[in-house]
Amino acid sequence: MAHIEETIEVGVVPEVAYEHWTRYDAFPEFLEGVVSVTRVDDSTTHWVVESHGEQREFDTHVIERRPGELIHWRSDGALGGEGTMLFEPVQSRSSAFRKVLHGATGEQDEVDPAETHTRITVRMAWEDKTAAERFGATFGTDSRKLKKDLRNFRKYIEKRRADAA
């Protein structure tokens, strides 16, 4: 079984990151190889992806959901596996620095929520059935792809934040 874990920080609060990550129809905009994701019901989505030169389809079932905190899913079909995505609040360096300065004098400093970022951690595991999948797991191709997808998500979500401002 193949396993990968990657982490990235994005410049939005956890609730916003979670909300955008659960807009499945937007996945082709930032996830390489995703052709479409269609919501079947409240916990199931149908995916069409291009992987290793082939188009594949599978369903994913959300088995645990905590808005703004966590998504845990299982997939069946050709790309069966499971994953967890954690959304953790992280104060930006500037707000953490102000807190240290004011903490020394005993003053209370309200942290601006806009200065809170999100650390997103993705953990995935799946059966690597084909030679190409075993190659990807062995030589880090899957990990590099996940890193790239997370960077694409960061650009996607931070652009929307800037456009809204």
Segment 37-64 mean pLDDT? 92
Residue at 87 is within a domain? yes
Q: What's the whole-model pTM score?
A: 0.78
Q: Report the CATH number that the domain containing residue 126 is assigned in CATH.
A: 3.30.530
Q: Is residue 68 part of a domain?
A: yes
Q: What's residue 115's pLDDT?
A: 67
For 155, the domain range is 2-17+62-164
The pLDDT, as a whole number, for residue 116 is 80
Q: How many domains does the chain have?
A: 1
Statement: residue 8 has pLDDT above 50: yes
Could you give the CA distance from residue 125 to residue 155 in angstroms, rounded to a whole number?
25
Is 43 within a domain?
Answer: no
